Structure 1
């Protein structure tokens, strides 16, 4: 078996630490995700799934416990190194697309690459390849306001994968879409994930979508348990 892309060990996180109103969100989370594996993270709103994803993606830090990406312990890294890993190795997708409104679909995908030192022509070629994979290459010159909700989210998927990450973290990526559009957009996301072989953790309320991933885990009382229900 390959070495895991993501390893979480005994993650614990609370807010208002040490105060009478302290809220414990994570109480010893353990998770390992292999290359090419898609894991569904199922939890109700407020259970801590966004906190877990933010810690896994180095946007937040746990009170205790460790996060390792490709075997490298992230615990004591400085801000510059953590930022570089987020930019190069981790892709994020949220429920709302957060595309830059003044730029076209193509530009929204080329900009992260150019910020990472990729030449303009190469960045555009990569962006068009990704847009074609999710079926919206014909909308490359359109700004977000000119795209449907499903098209916007597919562009957001492409942006998340623009720098060829090894880990994808998605927080309710189809939660803002109607059921039919959600299904089509999820298929596009899974196509991208399968074609790249990256590891993915996808938070969702939708048990039907969770069942289409490789396995599911539930966040219950701050710990992960196997199964979607």
Structure 2
């Protein structure tokens, strides 16, 4: 792989339950994802998918091993610099949209940009563009309560990409939707990723959706193996 956007090298993570009952979730996980590549992550519930995504996205730290984004090793950075890197380089999507209910779809996408120093006019133009790409531009002025579940999740995708990250991490992004809506929303996600060229790691239980991505990886006893 000539260029790597996300790399995990020998990542390990364990949790202590009680005084001596250690639960090892990740055990030497290795991963490389290139720009423009979509990788599916599949595993049973409780196998460590969310932990791996949180470590890759700098929301959690590994016990040992390296996390590199765009070739930069994140392990040696201060908390402040990790926060800056996470805000600048990483977009997150979860199973539930977590949109701010008192704001419109457009405002939910504009606000992260304003927090990142983008001028309002520019932020609104990007928000409209993203909404149009996923087919919900006409919902820009609606609050989440006035949108369907599929529409809410498409807006959540747009919000995740508002600050033009280089890496998208998604944790069961269609898990809360019916099968028909799930397919439509997933296609919108594919078009966003392909259109922006960012790297994407997407955890899913849906093996049909996983098969549509470039590669499938499976968590097996804390290590990543081809799915």
TM-score normalised over the length of structure 1: 0.97
- Residue by residue over 1:107-145, the C-alpha shift from the partner in whole angstroms, topping out at 9 and shown as x without a partner, is 000000010000000000000000000000000000001
Distance 1:69 1:151 in 2: 30
Paired residues, number: 227
How far residue 19 of structure 1 moved from its aligned partner, in angstroms, is: 3.5
Is the contact made by 1:2 and 1:35 (CA closer than 8 Å) also made in structure 2? no
SS at match of 1:224: strand
Matched, 1:193 2:208: no
Distance 2:2 2:197 in 1: 12
Is the contact made by 1:168 and 1:199 (CA closer than 8 Å) also made in structure 2? yes
| Aligned residue runs from structure 1 range 152-167, under 5 A | 152-167=152-167
Distance 1:115 1:17 in 2: 38
- Residue by residue over 1:32-77, the C-alpha shift from the partner in whole angstroms, topping out at 9 and shown as x without a partner, is 0001110000011100000000000000000000000000000111
**Which ranges of structure 1 fall in alignment gaps of 5 or more residues?**
none
Distance 1:82 1:220 in 2: 28
Match of 1:139 in 2: 139
SS at match of 1:31: strand
> Deviation above 6 Å: which 4+ runs of structure 1?
none
Distance 2:163 2:2 in 1: 22
| Aligned residue runs from structure 1 range 171-190, under 5 A | 171-190=171-190
- Residue by residue over 1:138-195, the C-alpha shift from the partner in whole angstroms, topping out at 9 and shown as x without a partner, is 0000000110000000000000000000000000000000000000000000000000
How far residue 17 of structure 1 moved from its aligned partner, in angstroms, is: 7.7
**Which ranges of structure 2 fall in alignment gaps of 5 or more residues?**
none
Distance 2:48 2:124 in 1: 37
How far residue 20 of structure 1 moved from its aligned partner, in angstroms, is: 1.6
Distance 2:205 2:51 in 1: 16
| Aligned residue runs from structure 1 range 81-92, under 5 A | 81-92=81-92
Match of 1:213 in 2: 213
How far residue 2 of structure 1 moved from its aligned partner, in angstroms, is: 3.8
SS at match of 2:165: coil
Matched, 1:47 2:53: no
Q: CA RMSD in A?
A: 1.0
Is the contact made by 1:36 and 1:194 (CA closer than 8 Å) also made in structure 2? yes
Distance 1:70 1:17 in 2: 35
Distance 1:18 1:225 in 2: 30
